[in-house]
Amino acid sequence: MEKKPSIKDVAKVATVSTATVSNVMNASRYVKEETRAKVLKAMEELNYRPNTAAKSLKGKNTKLIGLIIPIQQSDTSADFFISLANGIESVLNNEGYKLVISNSHENINNELDQIEMFNTEFVDYMDGMIIAPTSEIGKETDDPMMIEYPVVYVDRKLSSTDKVDTIYTNNYSVTYEAIEMMLKKNRKRIAFISGPIDVSSTIERFEAYKDVLGKYQIEMEKELIFVGESSFESGYKIAYQLLTTQDVDGIVVVNNTMSMGVYKYLKEENIQIPKKVSFLSYDDFNWMELTDPTITTIKQPSFEMGKAAAELLLEKLENKSHEPKEICIESSIIIRNSL
């Protein structure tokens, strides 16, 4: 079956942006006659037909909100973002809004494509957007033309120096406090295991690790710091590498999927928790209450963050002169028996 031409195909042939193509189709902004002619010619050459369903919605009060989340197939972050989406919907549904969800798979190119798709195919009836950005999204969204409607960022902070509407959690302070609890149990060699340290949440957790060691005058050793893929297999391999080469008495894993792999290795090797090694994880899942011992973890308020993001976006939609806000929804330490 022959693939239908897309708005991106038209833009490529006409050597213009997809936003310009959208503006020509919808007469939403002024376009020079010469450019308009190029776009119409490209549409004719490609036999491109605009989305009639989308055009029929133009100008109507459709009350749609877009959500872009970065779920990876191998990562149980899916649970976090599904809970976040449920929090968003719990607010939007009460106000008559519907949610359109898209997944970037933690890939910057996917995310930019999805933003572009919302900008072009949906701009005439999309009211606003909520994004949990990928690690590289900051500088792209600094361009005010990048997204054409109100936006709230959630879970991760942008690299932009400008203040933007953001819902986040206290990654730094709660991680600092939890590791300090481990140090107060006289743990001296604490390993840090993480997925890629390239978004604000994991960066802040690593900063907390460094700073709390500094407070207790414990040297940070690069041999105890491991950064890998956010997967079960990666956690297992890192645990093997760590515990066959280093003498440690504490392990902090700031990625839940990796935690499962680390924990499996500890149990297979009969490494006693917490007698031999203290163990701290991130995100509170049911399996952590079923282990022996049960696992102390940091619980993120995903549902509450979703609610706050939706409430902030609705506030932004109602008040066009709204000043950007950064709102922290605090995480908590669930104390069990692994420290």
pLDDT single digits (tens) 53-87:
454 445 455 688 989 988 876 665 678 889 999 99
Q: What confidence score (pLDDT) does residue 148 get?
A: 64
**Do 290 and 315 lie in a common domain?**
no
Does residue 89 carry a pLDDT above 50?
Answer: yes
In a domain, 150, yes or no: yes
Same domain for 309 and 291: no
Residue 206 lies in a domain: yes
What span, in angstroms and rounded, lies between the C-alpha atoms of 108 and 226? 24
Query: For residue 1, what pLDDT is reported?
Result: 44
| 97 pLDDT more than 60 | yes
State the Rg of the chain over Cα: 24
Query: What pLDDT, on the 0 to 100 scale, is given for residue 143?
Result: 43
When pLDDT is averaged across residues 212-227 and rounded to a whole number, the result is 95
pLDDT category, 139, cuts 50, 70, 90?
Answer: very low
Residue 260 placed within a domain: yes
My answer on whether 178 and 273 are in the same domain is yes
164 and 65 share one domain: yes
- Structural domain contains residue 338: no
Has residue 315 been placed in a domain?
yes
DSSP-based three-state secondary structure for 194: strand
pTM of the model: 0.79
Quickly state the pLDDT bin for 124 (edges 50, 70, 90).
low
- pLDDT score of 35: 86
CATH at 15: 1.10.260.40
DSSP state of 186: T
Q: Average pLDDT, stretch 90-97? A: 93
pLDDT at 210 over 90: yes
Q: Confirm whether 55 is domain-assigned.
A: no
Whether 213 and 294 map to the same domain: the answer is yes
Is 282 a residue whose pLDDT tops 60?
yes
For the ranges 98-107, 146-155, 209-218, which has the lowest average pLDDT?
A: 146-155
pLDDT value of residue 51:
56
Expressed as residue numbers, the domain containing 4 is: 1-50
Domain count of the fold of the chain: 3
Please give the pLDDT value at position 46: 81
For residues 17 and 105, membership in a common domain is answered with no
What mean pLDDT, rounded, does the chain reach?
85
Is there a single domain that holds both residue 310 and residue 295? no
Residues 157 and 240 placed together within one structural domain of the fold: no
Q: Are residues 180 and 229 in the same domain?
A: yes
Q: What region, left, alpha or beta, does residue 320 occupy, with left being phi > 0 and alpha being psi -120 to 50 degrees?
A: alpha
The reported pLDDT for the residue numbered 11 is 81
Question: Does 301 sit behind a cis peptide bond, omega within 30 degrees of 0 on the bond before it?
Answer: no
| Least confident span in 22-26, 77-81, 171-175 | 22-26
Confidence of residue 43 (pLDDT cuts 50, 70, 90): confident
Same domain? For 6 and 80 the reply is no
Burial (0-12, 13-18, 19+ Cβ within 10 Å), 60? exposed
- Whether 337 maps to a domain, the answer reads no
Residue 137 has pLDDT above 90, yes or no: no
**pLDDT value at 225 more than 60:** yes
pLDDT tier for residue 123 given thresholds of 50, 70 and 90: low
What's the pLDDT at 62? 67
Domain membership flag for residue 56: no
The helix or strand, by DSSP H or E, that contains position 302, with its residue range, turns out to be helix 302-318
Residue 108 sits in a domain whose CATH number is: 3.40.50.2300
Strongest mean pLDDT among 64-68, 118-122, 123-127: 64-68
Of 146 and 226, the structure prediction assigns the larger pLDDT to 226
Whether residues 180 and 291 share a domain: the answer is yes
Closest C-alpha to 305, from 332, 333, 285, 335 = 332
Q: Is the dihedral of CA 97, 98, 103, 104 positive or negative?
A: negative
Query: Do residues 284 and 201 share a domain?
Result: yes
What is the model's pLDDT at position 329?
A: 97
Distance (Å) of CA 79 to CA 135, 283, 303: 19, 10, 11
**CA dihedral defined by 152, 157, 163, 169, rounded to 10 degrees?**
80
Please give the residue that has the higher pLDDT: either 95 or 140: 95
